[in-house]
Structure formats: C-alpha cells, structure tokens
Amino acid sequence: MLIQNDSYLFHKNSNYFYLFLALIHEQIIEMIVFHIYLKKEEPNIALIMLVLHIYSVIYMLGDYNLMRNTPFRIIKEKVVMIIGARRSLHFDLSEIDYIQPAAIKYNKSGSIINEKKVFHATAFPRIFTIIFGISDELKYEIVLKDPVQAKGYFGQKQEINKVYLYCDHAGNFVESLQNRMVIEGASESSV
C-alpha cells in the first residue's frame, strides 16, 4: 500500500501573526527613535543599535516565513514538526503510545500549569504563555512510549514525553496519525 506524505499548517489560526506584526512595528519605531536620539549623543552606539534592530527584524521575518513554509509533516513512518527557526521535533509513529484530546491546565490561582518534558507544537512563542498567560487553543496531546529528543533555541536538546498540538486542523492531523499507526501495526503483525 502506497502512503503519501501529509502536510498540516499550524500558523494560520494562531495568535502569532498579530504578535509578529506588533513586534515588527515596535522594532521599526524603536529603531528610528533610538537612531535619531543616539545619533546626536553617541554616534557609535547609534550605529550598533541600528544594526541590532535591522538584524532582529530580518530574524523575525525569516522565522515567520520559515514557519509559514514548513507545515507539520508525516513522511512515511516519521512525524516532522519544525517551528520556524526556533524549535523542531522528529519522531517515528511507532514511538506514539496514545493520542487524546487535551486542554490547558490551570492551578488554583488561575495561572497556567507549565508541565516539564513537553513539546508545545504551536506557532505562538512559549515565553509569552509563561509570562502573560496568552496561548493558542490546545487541542490534542500525543503521549510517547519513551522520551525523544527535541531541539530548541541554539540547538539545545531536551528530552520530551508528550507533544501538545495547537495546530489549525488538529483533528485531521490526529486522524492521519491514527490511520498510519493502524496501517503500520497491521504491516508489522503480518511480518
């Protein structure tokens, strides 16, 4: 049986687009204001700040463009999740223990509980969820049999046990995963 590669977007219904626009505007306005002010006081610092602001704008544009053009993919028996230039995760279908609906958990004071060893498959940066309590809608949780390694900022590796899905059409993604798990299980049992 021929299995095609599936792709699933995760950025379209995310709040990240609005955050992205706000940050780009903030960087450009700040760049102009700092440059005008510092040009008179400290021309060398003004040049350094200008370069840093331009770099940050280019980084944000690149991150958003990479995220737009690299949807979550299921390639044969492998799941590939690349979140812009920030994070990535690759694991085999055989490493999935089960998939279930999920919801964000809150403590008694109303703050979001941030579990350890979890990969958040969302376009929205996790730091804003931790600091401000803002997040996209959590839809599913993929529990893995054994820990797998995810890559984070600057290539940092982290062992994870769960994947939280916040993607646009999470139901279709999960259905495709479950269908492939059934097909993979059937082909393994026939061997």
Q: How many CA atoms lie within 13 A of 122 on its CB side?
A: 24
Say if residue 61 is in the same domain as residue 78: no
Q: How many CA atoms lie within 13 A of 108 on its CB side?
A: 0
Task: Tell me, yes or no, whether 136 lies in a domain.
Answer: yes
| pLDDT tens-place string over residues 75-112 | 888 999 998 888 899 999 889 998 888 877 777 776 66
Write down the H helix ranges in 88-163.
Answer: 126-132
Share of the chain above pLDDT 70, in %: 86
CA angle in degrees (0–180, nearest 5) for 134-20-25: 120
Query: Whole-angstrom Cα distance, residue 72 to residue 167?
Result: 9
Residue-averaged pLDDT of the chain? 82
Question: Which amino acid, residue 66?
Answer: L
Task: Tell me, yes or no, whether 10 lies in a domain.
Answer: no
Average pLDDT of the residues in 5-19: 76
| pLDDT tens-place string over residues 133-164 | 666 777 888 999 999 999 988 788 999 999 98
Say if residue 102 is in the same domain as residue 63: no
User: In the predicted model, is pLDDT for residue 45 greater than 60?
Assistant: yes
Final residue belonging to a domain, choices 50, 68, 86:
68
Domain that holds residue 29: 16-68
Say if residue 63 is in the same domain as residue 76: no
Say if residue 142 is in the same domain as residue 48: no
Q: By the 8 A CB rule, do 136 and 122 touch?
A: yes
